[in-house]
A and B are shown apart, each in its own frame.
Chain A
Amino acid sequence: MKPKVAIFDFTDCEGCEVAIVSLREKLLDLAAEVDVVNWRLAQKRAEGGPYDVVLIEGTPITQEEIDTLKLLRDQTKILVGLGSCATLAGIPGIIDKESRSFWYKKIYGEKYQPRGIDALPLTAYVQVDYLIHGCPVEKKEVVRVLEELLAGKLPKPRGYSVCFECKLAGNPCRLLSRKVCLGPITQGGCGAICISGGSPCYGCFGLRDEAQIDNLLQTLYKFSDSEEVERYFSMFLKKTPEYAKLFRKPRGKNGKT
């Protein structure tokens, strides 16, 4: 029997699913090895569990999404987060829980009935077996992880930082040009695609194991300030414990900062 695979998406842009579609011929190869029993974006067939592998894209923001996430956890052997919205809370995570009500009113008006609770990663609610980071995910990484899962292995994250791939790509080092970069503390696997394009690395692949955050900060503060550094961390990593430790001010008695 082919393994039963399902792909679900919570609140997000669906770019990671588009990345999967962009695999083209490779997607056909992968799809032939499994039984895709549920994929809202791509098919009508929508079977319930139990599943062997569930991929979840997007951030669980509404109660319904949080409930679905918990249900899916119970129904699948392996749960995989697909993309930074799922694995880190990513872009939706830029918005803090406390500021949501202000923006609801400002954007949608006084009478708006919000659906959202907070933008947190999957791991805030359930145990997740593997995180495929990236905004969007890197196609080669998706293939690697799925092939390893199909071979019965639990994939491991890349044991090196973005710097390794950035050097291979022949990019001049941003730090040496006194530009903020989170590459040294970020998991590799992206091929340093943003820096190769001329953009900064905001760490969408998540922190690597044993990330030397303090050492990086020491370097960054030689030419930057804490406000700018915090902004870089706040792009994809705002809902990580490391962000809270580095940048959250201790709360006063009345709960205000």
Chain B
Amino acid sequence: MERPEFITQIEGHGSLHFNWQKNKVWLEVTEGERLFEGMVVGRPAAELYWITSRICGVCPIAHNLAAIKAVEDALNIKISKSTVLLRKLLLDAQMIQSHSLHLYFLAAPDYLGLDSGLEIIKTHPVYFQQALELKRVSDLIADSIGGRGIHPTATAAGGFHKVPSLEKLKKLKA
């Protein structure tokens, strides 16, 4: 028996199909091809990571930093220790952002038998507040270091266009 529309609450448009008789499972992607490989050809290195973050709006920072790392490797650019630390913190923010979104908003409703993540406020108000808090904190870190939580504006090959002020960093601790 096939069950299409099985995993719809994901970033990207696909559905999982399975055929029990043939012992087969396959993922069907239904969205159009964006052809990122073609977009970046012929452009300066500084535009590559600007474009690749747009691969995914749930984890744009990861795609942005991966492309920055590739450019730095290719051009043999050495980066400072503080750049590494700031990028690690930025990536951590992404992890919390993306995982809390996935857990509370995309996956939990399935496990709890709810229609949407917004309903958790009624069934599990304490957890819902935790979800909001995780989202708030991770967005704040990502905004402060990356310039913007979705599709960073401050990251660059070789370091950062702009680093957060000490004041901003201290606020994150609070």
Give how many A-B residue pairs fall within 8 Å (CB-CB). Answer: 168
Instruction: Report whether A13 and B118 are in contact in the complex, using a CB–CB cutoff of 8 Å.
Output: no
Asked if B1 CB lies within 8 Å of chain A CBs, one says no
Contact B154 A95 (CB under 8 A): no
**CB pair B153 A92 closer than 8 Å:** no
User: Cβ of B99: which chain A residues have Cβ within 8 Å of it?
Assistant: none
**A21 near B43 (CB under 8 angstroms)?**
no
Contact of B51 with A91 in the complex, beta carbons under 8 Å: yes
- B interface residues, how many (CB within 8 angstroms): 51
CA distance A99 to B60 in the complex (A): 26
- Segment with Cβ contacts to B, from A58-66, A72-80, A155-163: A58-66
- 1-55 of chain A: CB within 8 A of chain B: 9-19, 21-22, 24-25, 27-28, 31, 36, 39-45
Q: In the bound complex, do residue B57 and residue A24 qualify as a contact, i.e. CB atoms below 8 Å apart?
A: no
Q: Is B158's CB within 8 Å of the partner chain A?
A: no
B32 x A106 contact (CB < 8 A): no
Nearest CB in chain A: distance from B114 CB, A: 8
Which chain B residues lie closer than 8 Å to A164 at the CB level?
none
B58 within 8 Å of A (CB atoms): yes
Residue contact B37 to A103, C-beta cutoff 8 Å:
yes
Given the complex of chains A and B, what is the CA–CA distance between A235 and B32 in angstroms?
A: 19
User: Does B37 lie within 8 Å of A107, measured CB to CB?
Assistant: yes
Contact A18 B34 (CB under 8 A): no
A123 within 8 A of B: no
| B interface list, Cβ under 8 A from A | 8-9, 11-13, 30-35, 37-39, 43-44, 47, 50-51, 54-58, 60, 101, 105-106, 109, 115-118, 121, 132, 135-136, 139, 146-154, 156, 160-162
Q: What would 20 more interface pairs be, CB under 8 Å, given A65-B32, A95-B35?
A: A14-B12, A15-B60, A19-B150, A22-B135, A22-B139, A24-B136, A42-B105, A42-B106, A42-B117, A43-B118, A45-B116, A61-B31, A102-B38, A103-B35, A115-B32, A135-B54, A136-B57, A194-B148, A197-B161, A198-B147
A-B complex: 4 closest residue pairs judged by Cβ atoms: A198-B161, A15-B57, A61-B32, A197-B153
A residues sitting closer than 8 Å to B (CB atoms) are 9-19, 21-22, 24-25, 27-28, 31, 36, 39-45, 58-62, 64-65, 91-92, 94-95, 99-100, 102-104, 106-108, 114-117, 119, 135-136, 193-194, 196-199, 231, 235
